Amino acid sequence: HAKHVEGGGVCVFSAALETAVRADRAIEVALQGSTLEDELTIVFQPIIELASGRLSAVEVLVRWTSPVLGEVSAADFIAVAERSTAIHSITRAVIRKGLKAAQHLPDDVAVSFNISACDLTSATTLAFIRREIERTGIDPGRIWLEVTETAVMANAETAAQALQAFRDIGVHVALDDFGTGYSSLGYVQRLPLDKVKIDRSFVAGLDGTDGDTIARAVITFCHTIGLSCVAEGVETPSQWRMLQEAGCKHAQGYLFSKPLTLDALLALCTEWERQRPWGARQRQRGAA
Ligand code: C2E
Ligand code: MG
Ligand code: MG
Ligand code: MG
């Protein structure tokens, strides 16, 4: 159905849109009634250092099983939570659980958290993170905070200041999903960042002919301005090899491991200590 609105514009309501709006509303209601601290869990996706194959970090990813809606995907409920203060409760719960889990991991494994645009500019979130770091005694250098390119672009000036405020407490900041937000390279160069996470869509393109050139150029650009790269969504051995050749520092993806529970992650740590499946030896064999 099309409906004329004031000012002469036409507003189109499709069935799909209506369904999406209703689903979002259901998520909103379920979030309000939930005891988030109990219903949220976290999983960890290994991030490897490509040169050595060692586990260098884990990305903390939130999971929500609502008693009303069942399992809701992170992308879906985070987007809804960002429209209210629910996002702050989610961020705090995830950070609290993540830092607790970090105490069980080797000291040289970094822990990477996703934070939303509204967390980035919140003095309360910054203070909370600083306090939790002090309370748990974790080395702040072990903590990476990922903020999406789109979140940062929403307000460039404020974002730059906020990123610096986080770096001032000793944590590392990474630009997440780089390549999806259409920000200019000059703009990225001016941001106070430590790392860039290259979006899965670029990595997927590595198997094609042109994609290879683009991904290499992006990696070279990041290195030129002094940022280290993390490739996301690595799914095939050929993507893995091309990233190594391009000098990309870190990578994550289903090829290495899916997101894991803490117990499964600890088992993987032990296994990778005994035999490093993504190490140099394997690389030579793979390249032959
Ligand atoms: P993201 O930060 O870019 O996280 C990567 C997403 O890609 C994760 O989805 C992960 O499971 C998935 N992934 C990892 N490797 C592969 C691969 O090889 N192939 C494919 N196809 N996918 C892969 P997930 O866990 O569903 O999270 C989706 C998004 O939700 C995240 O994207 C992030 O933006 C957001 N998110 C997750 N946890 C949190 C959180 O605690 N706080 C905030 N603010 N956002 C979060
Ligand atoms: Mg992320
Ligand atoms: Mg990402
Ligand atoms: Mg993403």
pLDDT (mean) for 179-183: 77
Ligand 1 touching residue 45 (CB < 6 A): yes
Instruction: Mean pLDDT check: name the lowest of 5-9, 62-66, 115-119.
Output: 5-9
Distances (CA, A) of 34 to 2, 28, 116: 37, 10, 20
- Closest-lying ligand 1 atom to the alpha carbon of residue 197: 3
Please report the ipTM that was assigned to this predicted complex.
Answer: 0.98
**Which of 47, 61, 230 has most ligand 1 atoms within 8 Å of its beta carbon, as the pocket-test mutant?**
61
pTM: 0.92
CA of 146 to the centre of ligand 2 (A): 6
Q: How far, in Å, is the centroid of ligand 1 from the Cα of 104?
A: 23
Residue whose C-alpha is closest to residue 54's, from 269, 227, 242, 200: 269
> Could you tell me the distance, in angstroms and rounded to a whole number, from the CA of residue 187 to the centre of ligand 1?
24
Relative to beta strand 228-231, strand 195-198 is: parallel
101-129 pLDDT, tens digit per residue, is 999 999 999 999 999 999 999 999 999 99
